[in-house]
Every structure is written in structure tokens, then in C-alpha cells.
Amino acid sequence: MPEVKASKPPKIKAAAKMKQIMSDHFYELDKAMKSKTQKIAWCTSVGPAELLRSMGFLVYFPENHGAILGATRQATDFIPIANSIGYSPEICSYLTSDVGAYLKKKTPLSQVYPGIESVPKPDILVFNTNQCRDVQDWFSFYAREFKVPIIGIETHRGVGEVQAAHIKSVADQMQGLVPKLEEISGQKFDLGELKRVVGLSLECSQLWRKVLETASAVPSPINFFDGTIHMGPAVVMRGTQVAVDYYKELLAELEERVKNKVAAVAGEKHRLYWDGMPIWGKLRPMAELFNSLNTCVVASTYCNSWIFDDFDPGDPFNSMARAYVQLFIVRSDEAKEKYIEDMVKKFKLDGIIFHDCKTCPNNTNARYGMPQRLQKRFGIPNIVVAGDLNDLRCYSEEQTKTVIEAFVEQLNK
Amino acid sequence: MMSKNVEKKYFAGIDIGASATKAVIIDEAKKIVGSHVCRSGADLAGSAQAAYDEALKQAGLKAGDVGLLAATGFGRNNFPAAHCTITEISCHSLGSFHYFPKAITIIDIGGQDNKLIHVDQNGCIMNFKMNRKCAAGTGAFLEEVAYKMDIPLEKLNGLARQSTQDVSLGSFCTVFTGTEILTKIREGKKKEDIIRGAFCSVARRIIEMDPLIGAVVLTGGVVAHNNILAEILGSVINKKVLVPPSPQLIGALGAALLVSAKKKQK
């Protein structure tokens, strides 16, 4: 019997605008690099992008490039090159694929955006270890390659209740970045401008939250796989009017879908939660598989990681610090479990998929007994899928398909 | 997608596994009337058809006598004659529960993967786990051991039974275990003891997967050909391990039971 083909899900119309935004973002960076008209800061995905933007930098996010390497299925070609110079296959495959691509002098940006020959060269590298230690190692590699300064923030990990001391520590570190940023940018720090940018980031974040929360409708108008694509502007353009305008448009489209009961997955029977990183090179087959099973992955930890409710333009440093310490990824298991339990209730979920991501332990929550504790605590069924964000050598397609299909069969009973 | 031809009295299940393809035909009383096992090879559809034809022959039936046919296993989508597909997780649950209708933990050790399934007293799956992307503790691991020691696969069980001394193989991965076996050979350990050590290693991989709650049922090709494994696992977990008749056929039987139950629902 051939595999069942599911009916095609409707396309999100705002996608065309998002593509244009991403294109403009990369061409702007390329132009700045070539013309030397504006300084470029590389920043980790949940780093102090607002501060950088307020000080006149264009901001480039290597993790976004890592995701593009994964989604275009080029990562696995480049990872061995980084492995060969001492970066282990066991560490972050964003890092290894990005470093490998750099050493090979390749970037998928060249294939998508004619005229762009390389990623934009940095004037400064700014990390925040809230994602992991690997981002610091990753940026350190480029600091040596480009001979540019590297500065950053060391964030607390395993945080239970967020304390004033946590926030003060991160806020102080953020303020400590300012002198070096002034030196590189040639601009004096302007508190008013930071407040303006944080205000725009807050607005972007609030809209992105509303976009994701449309998925609490039954049927859901959007799924996790759509979310991983449409979060692009929230990652690379937060703190700009462009991102705000984009999410207003996307939200309006999704609210219209909710009103008309347009489902992201036709005949939605089951609603699931995805915890952990996406498997970037398998987004489409995964989306098709869930579609064929009438199962919608409606919510995720990953897409929610770019919601920063705590941003306050009136108190930018402390509120940025609070937002970046409230992040799921840096919290204790107890706080994470409470968060997931709230999500299960809010999105009316039937089960959880934990992605045990081989090279991303920080974004993996299946290794210290959490799935078992959650099942015991409130009876939510779950499965663990073994894979990786970028290294497809760590992923077995057939085994994963069987696990997901069997999970849906279990839910069907 | 089910056939309309549901009046017929026989039902078939084909389990197209990574190593072996199994076919089972049951009658309305859920009794196995024909079965066959063959290598899956590279032509999955061909192997499935061959296994099905042999099972029909054994049962004295023609394809037209079979009402519904379900395919399961790694190659379940490669058999166009199947009326429906279902995963091997569900099929092993159905097949095992058929013989042991109570809350059970099923361990299926196949050629390429291990499955551990918890089923409640109603036969519903509570949860399940599969091994990671690694062949340690699977049939492929034992094949590697046999190859490394230049011993025919079918002799492993008999040789392990002659073991007189424990030899522990500590490695977590098939390739490293292969190297460790060479070390044991160099140290002068007896092959019988090394082979038993390999079976103990399989048992240890199983207990790492999940708690073995309630009655434990062992299925799959590995135990079908190596019944010593049930004894070794039983001694590791300190309880008797249940093995159904023809443990290699349990997945195919589950598939046949599934379509037989669907017929009754009509």
C-alpha cells in the first residue's frame, strides 16, 4: 500500500512579505560590509540585540545562518570540515556547520541572494551564554579569524525563581558592554534610543506571542513547522518597525483563519507539543507526516523562546536582563515543567514530543527524567525522538516515522 | 482504506522487518493456519509476496480466500497488496496481548531495533520506547558477534548454553564490543563464555530502556532463535520472562488480528 498523501495545507500569504524582509536584512548587511557605511555586530540569537541596534550596529545572527545551513540540508556536508580541525561531532552542529561552511568559503546565502558572496564580516562579536557555552566558543573562533573584539554576557543557568541578584548581575554585564560598543561604533550611547528600540522589541514580542497563541484555537491555524519559518523576523529584526509591521499582518491573517476555521492540518484530530530544537533538514517531511496523520503540532518551547514579556522601555537594562533570565532555556527543570504544564492546558494538547537533540543538550529536556515526571504528574503521553538540529547523521528517518506513527496510533485508542 | 470484501474467513498480517519478513494467516477463531519467515533482502515487496504465498500454501488457501491483509514493520509501506498499514509497536502489542491478556511489558528484539512497550490490562499502549540510532543490543549486534568470532549465527544459542564462566562485555556500542571481543579472545577466554557474555550484554541494554513493570513478554527473531536470552533476562530482572509461541511471528499476528477486529466492527 503506498503511503497516504494528505491534502495540502493552505499557504500562509504573509510568507511572501517575510521572504522580502529576510532578503532585505541580508542585502543590507552585505551592502554595509562592502561599503563600510555601517558597523556590523554579530550577536547570539537571544543576546542584547536591542543594545547593539540602539548604538547604530547592523546585527547579524550566526544561529540564523546555522538554521539556514540545516534547512537547506547543507550542514552535514560542512560539519566534517569543522570536525577535522578539532571541533567535535558531539558539540553544537550549528557551530560545526557554520565554521565548516566558513572554512569552505561557502554560504547558502549566495545561492538564495545573488551578489552576496559571503556572510557579513563582523566589527565586533557579542554573545550571551543563555543559549549555551558553545556560542562563546563559536564566536571565539571568529574573533581569532577576523581579529575583532569579542564581548559578552555570562548568564546564570538552572534558575528556579528569578531573583533580583540574577537580574542585577546580567543588567550590570549589559551596561559593561557599552564602552567597547561605543569604541567600535564611534557612537555615544543614547538611553533614549535604547528605550525606543526596546519599545519596538516589546511590541514585536507581544505580536509574536499573539501569533503563536492563535494556535490555541481548534483547529489550529498554524503549526510548529510554520512557526519555525515565520519566527525569522522576531529573531533577526526585533527592535525594528519592520518586524512589528510584519507580525501585525501575519496576526491578521491567522485571526481570519481562526474566524473561518481554516486548519493548518486538515481534519485535525490530535494536538501535540514539540519540546526542543527543530530538525531543520526535515521540516517539510515532518510537516507532511503529521499532516498525513491529521495531527497538528500546535505549540513548542522553541518558537516561544522569542517572547520577551518583561521588556520595559522605561527601564531598558533591568528589563532586558529580566527577559533574558526568564527564558525557558536557563531555568530549572521544576520551572520548565510548570511552563510545559501550562502550555498543555492552554493549547489543549494530547501529547508531547521531546526531541533528544544529539548536539544540543541545553535545548534537550529528555535526559534528566522530565518526560517520565510529566507523565506521572498529569498523565500526558509523550515520546522521545532522537535526532539533531543540523547533523542528519544523527537522525534515523524510518525509526522516527515509526515512533511518531505509533504515538498517533496510541492516541487514536 | 479497507477492502469491501470482509465476508471472508481468513485474515493476514505481513511484518516486513529490517532483517526478516514474516507472514501469518489466521482464521475467524484467531488461530494461525499458515505462516512463513524469509529474509527481507533488498526487494521488500518481493519478500513480502513470497512470505505471503508460502503462508497461503501452508494453510491450503488462495489469496482470494483472505478477506483483509495488513502490513507492518520497517517495510510496511512497500507492499501494495496490503489493505492497510500499522506500526510494529501496535502490532506487537496486539499479538502479545492475544497470548497474555493482562498488563504486560513487551520487549521486542528485532534485527535492527528494540522496542519496549507497556500495555495495560485492556491491551492499550500506555507508552513505548525504541532504541536510539544504535544497533547495540539488537539482532545486528549478535550478527556482528557471530561474524567477528566466525561462528554461524544459528550456533550461538547452543554454544552459550555450554558456558561455564561469566565474561562481561562492557562496551556500549556494537563496534566497540567487536573490539572488546577480540581482546577477550586474545586473553584466552572461551568462545562459549564470550557468546554468553554477548547475550548478557543484550539483556543489559534492555533493562536500560525503561522499567520492566508487571509481566514481561519477550518477542522477536532474536529470542525465537536464541531461547537462552529469556533465561538470561529473567535472571537479570529476577522474574520469569514469558515467551509466546513463535515469538518471531508476533508482529505479523498482531497485524492479522487488527484486520480481523476491524472486520468485526463492520
Give the ipTM: 0.88
B111 and B228 in one domain? yes
Predicted confidence (pLDDT) per residue in B58-92, tens digit: 999 999 999 999 999 999 999 999 999 999 999 99
Contact A406 B90 (CB under 8 A): yes
For residue A4, tell me if it sits in a domain: no
B136 and B201 in one domain? yes
Smallest CA–CA separation between B78 and chain A, in Å? 6
How high does pLDDT run on average in chain A? 95
Judge contact between A273 and A343, C-beta under 8 A. yes
One DSSP character per residue, A316-382 reads: HHHHHHHHHHS-GGGB-HHHHHHHHHHHHHHTT-SEEEEEEETT-GGG--SSSSHHHHHHHHH---E
Nearest to B82 among A1, A386, A395 (CB): A1
B196 and B252 in one domain? no
Place of cell 522530565: A370
Judge contact between A60 and A120, C-beta under 8 A. yes
pLDDT at B4 over 50: no
Smallest CA–CA separation between B154 and chain A, in Å? 27
pLDDT given for residue B182 in this prediction: 85
B258 and B135 in one domain? no
**Interchain contact B52–A (C-beta under 8 A):** no
Lowest-confidence segment of A286-300, B4-18, B147-161 by average pLDDT:
B4-18
CA distances from B188 to B152, B184, B191, B201 (A): 21, 6, 9, 20
Nearest to B77 among A3, A375, A403 (CB): A3
pLDDT at B207 over 60: yes
Contact A1 B80 (CB under 8 A): yes
pLDDT band for position B3 (cuts 50, 70, 90): very low
The stretch A80-95 carries a mean pLDDT of 97
Predicted confidence (pLDDT) per residue in A60-75, tens digit: 999 999 999 999 999 9
pLDDT band for position A5 (cuts 50, 70, 90): low
pLDDT given for residue B261 in this prediction: 87
Give me the domain span that covers residue A52.
Answer: 15-412
pLDDT given for residue B65 in this prediction: 93
pLDDT band for position B171 (cuts 50, 70, 90): low
- Number of domains composing chain B: 2
pLDDT given for residue A14 in this prediction: 95
Lowest-confidence segment of A52-56, A297-301, B225-229 by average pLDDT:
B225-229
B119 and B36 in one domain? no
Amino acid identity of A367? Answer: R
**Interchain contact B132–A (C-beta under 8 A):** yes
For residue B150, tell me if it sits in a domain: yes
> Which residues of chain B lie closer than 8 angstroms to A383, CB-CB?
127-128
Nearest to A398 among B74, B82, B86 (CB): B74
pLDDT given for residue A304 in this prediction: 94
- Count CB atoms within 10 A of the CB of residue A205: 23
- Number of domains composing chain A: 1
Smallest CA–CA separation between A410 and chain B, in Å? 6
Lowest-confidence segment of A181-190, A211-220, B46-55, B147-156 by average pLDDT:
B147-156
B252 and B236 in one domain? no
For residue A111, tell me if it sits in a domain: yes
For residue B140, tell me if it sits in a domain: yes
B119 and B227 in one domain? yes
B127 and B219 in one domain? yes
For residue A9, tell me if it sits in a domain: no
pLDDT band for position B266 (cuts 50, 70, 90): very low
For residue A285, tell me if it sits in a domain: yes
> For the domain that residue B182 is a member of, what is the CATH number?
3.30.420.40
The cell numbers describing A79, all together, are 560539519
**Interchain contact A20–B (C-beta under 8 A):** no
> For the domain that residue A396 is a member of, what is the CATH number?
3.40.50.11900
One DSSP character per residue, A120-177 reads: PPPSEEEEETTS-SHHHHHHHHHHHHHT--EEEE----SBSS--HHHHHHHHHHHHHH
pLDDT given for residue B174 in this prediction: 75
Give me the domain span that covers residue B158.
Answer: 102-243
B70 and B29 in one domain? yes
Cα(B259)–Cα(B101) distance, integer angstroms: 19
Provide the sign of the torsion angle of the four alpha carbons B59, B65, B68, B70, taken in this order.
positive
Cα(A1)–Cα(B30) distance, integer angstroms: 24
Lowest-confidence segment of A19-28, A176-185, A293-302, B5-14 by average pLDDT:
B5-14
**Interchain contact B96–A (C-beta under 8 A):** no
B60 and B150 in one domain? no
Place of cell 483483509: B68
Predicted confidence (pLDDT) per residue in A341-399, tens digit: 999 999 999 999 999 999 999 999 999 999 999 999 888 999 999 999 999 999 999 88
The stretch A240-268 carries a mean pLDDT of 96
B125 and B78 in one domain? no
Nearest to B132 among A1, A381, A386 (CB): A386
pLDDT at A2 over 50: no
Of how many residues is chain B composed?
266
Contact A1 B79 (CB under 8 A): yes
The stretch A126-152 carries a mean pLDDT of 96
Predicted confidence (pLDDT) per residue in A108-121, tens digit: 999 999 999 999 99
How high does pLDDT run on average in chain B? 90
The stretch B32-36 carries a mean pLDDT of 97
Lowest-confidence segment of A160-164, A309-313, B190-194, B201-205 by average pLDDT:
B201-205
**Interchain contact A163–B (C-beta under 8 A):** no
A:342-361 residues touching chain B, CB 8 A cutoff: 356
For residue B28, tell me if it sits in a domain: yes
B199 and B77 in one domain? no
For residue A401, tell me if it sits in a domain: yes
For residue A73, tell me if it sits in a domain: yes
Smallest CA–CA separation between B86 and chain A, in Å? 8
R_g of chain A, CA atoms, integer Å: 21
pLDDT given for residue A95 in this prediction: 97
